[in-house]
């Protein structure tokens, strides 16, 4: 079978790293990079480190408003689909690249496979929630990471073509964890000791585009006595500058890092404070307490099982959780067995 895979943003490179090699054992894969992320530390580094095949096409769409970005992807993807005539299009997650990849395929009556289907935050103000809902409703095969996702789809009337495969990010972390521990020298480079720092990431539009939310978050981090490592997404870097926010000396801002350095940083941190979707799960897989600076999460299992706490952008809650949030239970395995890529590839075959 000829399968077109569309990826474009950092977390999608990591998910594709787990799935692509398996797919290619039995199928021809044409990889399209939309160019949504393009800085070398947001894109190239993942292809190199994780040995993701070089994309057959890079659309180089770049940044812009949602309409500009998604619209340009639609135009370019349609041309390629018409030329390549794939049997299936595979998309991951919930970005603008996901929706564009699925929408063009659906209009051309090419079956769509969606990896990481069925997630819901139930907050339709999030661009990701809009992308997820639309993509799921356009998809023929919905590969979901958990039972919660199966039920979310059922509630929207989707039960055909739904496969609970487990989470491909569980595959990814298992694939690269040992390599990260042995190869990454990021702790030495930053001169930090294991379990003596907090790792934080911030990039969610709802937190960065709102000066009050971002100021609260930065003030909460500033008030902590812990050393904080903050690999900064370019979106957030821009807003911190625009809003003229000051960060304390205890916060070490670094450029975004590759996946191996990121695993090493996560695995050895005392706690993680984030608004990322993927990192909430990775914290869970690595058994690191996670403090999530959002009002809701798609990854409810991590909260229900006691390893993740939702603190929104509330200064006091963030501060208190950094001090006091300590899980008391063993994490339960709710995201499959780390062989999601195998299962997805088998079902597609």
Binding residues for ligand UDP (CB under 6 A): 10-11, 14, 201, 203, 231, 256-259, 262, 276-279, 282
Q: Which is nearer to ligand UDP, 81 or 143 (CB)?
A: 143
Q: How distant is the alpha carbon of residue 331 from its chain centre?
A: 21
- How far apart are CB 91 and ligand UD1 at their closest, in Å? 12
Coil, strand or helix at 108: coil
- How far apart are CB 37 and ligand UDP at their closest, in Å? 9
256 binds, among ligand UDP, ligand UD1, none (CB under 5 to 8 A by kind): ligand UDP
Contacts of 47 (CB under 8 A, 6+ apart): 13, 54, 55
257 binds, among ligand UD1, ligand UDP, none (CB under 5 to 8 A by kind): ligand UDP
38 binds, among ligand UD1, ligand UDP, none (CB under 5 to 8 A by kind): ligand UD1
CB 115 within 8 A of CB 91: yes
> By CB under 6 A, is residue 15 in contact with ligand UD1?
no
Side-chain half-sphere exposure of 82, counting CA atoms within 13 A? 8
- How far apart are CB 298 and ligand UD1 at their closest, in Å? 11
- Give 110-130 as a DSSP string: --EEEETTT---S-TTSHHHH
- Provide the pairing of β-strand 162-164 with 88-92: unpaired
313 binds, among ligand UD1, ligand UDP, none (CB under 5 to 8 A by kind): none
Residues 72-131 that bind ligand UD1 (CB under 6 A): 94-96, 127-128
Taking Cα atoms as reference points, which of 91, 6, 11 lies closest to residue 280? 11
36 binds, among ligand UD1, ligand UDP, none (CB under 5 to 8 A by kind): ligand UD1
- How far apart are CB 65 and ligand UD1 at their closest, in Å? 9
> By CB under 6 A, is residue 146 in contact with ligand UD1?
no
- Provide the pairing of β-strand 271-274 with 198-201: parallel
Residues identified as active-site: 203
Alpha helices in the chain (DSSP H): 10-24, 44-49, 66-84, 96-107, 127-138, 147-155, 168-183, 186-190, 205-208, 211-222, 234-242, 259-267, 277-286, 300-304, 315-324, 340-348
- How far apart are CB 24 and ligand UD1 at their closest, in Å? 25
Q: Which is nearer to ligand UD1, 42 or 187 (CB)?
A: 42
How many angstroms separate the CA atoms of 235 and 229, rounded?
17
> By CB under 6 A, is residue 33 in contact with ligand UD1?
no
Q: Which is nearer to ligand UD1, 45 or 198 (CB)?
A: 45
Side-chain half-sphere exposure of 300, counting CA atoms within 13 A? 13
Report the DSSP beta bridge partners of residue 27. Answer: none
How many angstroms separate the CA atoms of 198 and 228, rounded?
5
How many angstroms separate the CA atoms of 329 and 286, rounded?
14
Q: Which is nearer to ligand UDP, 268 or 276 (CB)?
A: 276
Q: Which is nearer to ligand UDP, 88 or 186 (CB)?
A: 186
Binding mask 157-196 for ligand UD1 (x = CB under 6 A): ----------------------------------------
234 binds, among ligand UDP, ligand UD1, none (CB under 5 to 8 A by kind): ligand UD1
> By CB under 6 A, is residue 235 in contact with ligand UD1?
yes
Q: Give me the residues that bind ligand UD1 (CB under 6 A), please.
A: 9-11, 36-39, 42, 63, 94-96, 127-128, 203, 234-235, 238
């Amino acid at each position: 079978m000829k399968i077109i895979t569309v990826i474009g943003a950092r977390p999608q490179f990591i998910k594709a790293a787990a799935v692509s090699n398996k797919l290619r054992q039995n199928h021809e894969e044409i990889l399209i990079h939309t160019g949504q992320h393009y800085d070398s530390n947001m894109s190239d580094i993942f292809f190199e480190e994780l040995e993701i095949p070089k994309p057959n096409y890079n659309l180089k769409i770049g940044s812009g408003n949602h309409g500009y970005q998604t619209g340009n992807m639609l135009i370019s993807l349609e041309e390629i689909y018409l030329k390549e005539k794939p049997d299936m299009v595979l998309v991951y997650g919930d970005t603008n690249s996901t929706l564009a990849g699925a929408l063009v395929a659906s209009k051309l009556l090419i079956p769509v496979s969606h990896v990481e289907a069925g997630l819901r935050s139930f907050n339709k103000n999030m661009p990701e929630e809009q992308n997820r809902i639309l993509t799921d409703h356009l998809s023929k095969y919905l590969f979901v990471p958990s039972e919660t996702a199966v039920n979310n789809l059922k509630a929207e009337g989707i039960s055909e073509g739904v496969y609970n495969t487990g989470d491909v990010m569980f595959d990814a972390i298992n694939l690269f964890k040992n390599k990260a521990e042995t190869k990454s020298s990021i702790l030495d480079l930053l001169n930090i000791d294991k379990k003596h720092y907090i790792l934080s990431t911030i990039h969610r539009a709802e937190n960065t585009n709102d000066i009050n939310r971002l100021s609260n978050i930065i003030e909460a981090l500033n008030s902590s006595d812990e050393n904080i490592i903050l690999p900064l997404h370019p979106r957030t870097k821009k807003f911190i500058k625009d809003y003229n926010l000051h960060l304390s000396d205890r916060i070490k801002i670094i450029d975004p890092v590759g996946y191996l350095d990121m695993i090493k940083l996560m695995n050895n941190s005392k706690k993680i404070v984030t608004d990322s979707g993927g990192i909430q799960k990775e914290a869970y897989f690595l058994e690191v307490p996670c403090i999530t600076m959002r009002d809701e999460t798609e990854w409810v299992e991590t909260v229900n099982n006691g390893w993740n706490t939702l603190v929104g952008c509330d200064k006091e809650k963030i501060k208190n959780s950094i001090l006091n949030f300590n899980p008391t239970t063993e994490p339960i395995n709710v995201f499959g067995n780390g062989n999601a890529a195998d299962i997805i590839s088998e079902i597609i075959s």
